[in-house]
Amino acid sequence: LEHSFLSVRQEAAHQSWGFVHPTFTDAISRMLSGRPDLVELYVQGAKVETLLSEAVCEGAAPIRDAVVIPASASEHLVRRLLAVPDVPDLNRSLFEFLSVRASDCVVSAILDADVNLLHREARQHWKIWGDQRIRFLARVHKLHRLPEDIGADAAERLEYAATEDLD
């Protein structure tokens, strides 16, 4: 049934099955992805929750049916992401976006504008592999931008998960 009523989606480090059904959002995503002039309007006007779940930056791993944000709209996207309220559920979505859907340039611009974002707390997954803050910190480390104290805290958490929780 794959490619008829079901599809396999790859997000972060796991695959999931989903129903394929064209929606208004899918149609808009396809249309916007082909019109960079409209993408800026989308970035400026869409709810932040929508941006975090339905957009992907040009240069990041492609995600099916996601609105592709071109590099030319990165400045607008960074402004919107910096305005995300500091609440655990939204932080989890923000960290997921920054770890998987954002380009290196967008992540770097976010860190340049607000390094305190690294101190935000997010709702935690019951297993460490699903913790979006840890995934984001790993990406920041890969970019050689992770402060030593935050890296040490993350390392302690990973060690505890491996040795005590057998995660």
User: Mean pLDDT across the chain, nearest whole number?
Assistant: 87
Q: Model-level pTM?
A: 0.80
DSSP state of 17: E
Query: How is residue 41 written in tokens?
Result: 């309007």
Please tell me the predicted confidence (pLDDT) of residue 101: 97
CA–CA dist 20, 158 (Å, integer): 36
CA pair distance 29, 54, nearest whole angstrom: 8
Quick: pLDDT tens for 147-167.
Answer: 999 999 999 999 998 998 777
Which helix (H) or strand (E) element contains residue 54?
Answer: helix 48-54
Q: How do residues 37-70 score in pLDDT, each as one tens digit?
A: 788 888 988 899 999 999 999 999 988 878 899 9
Q: How far apart are CA 44 and CA 143, in angstroms?
A: 27
Q: Helix, strand, coil: what percent of the chain each, to 5? A: 60, 10, 30
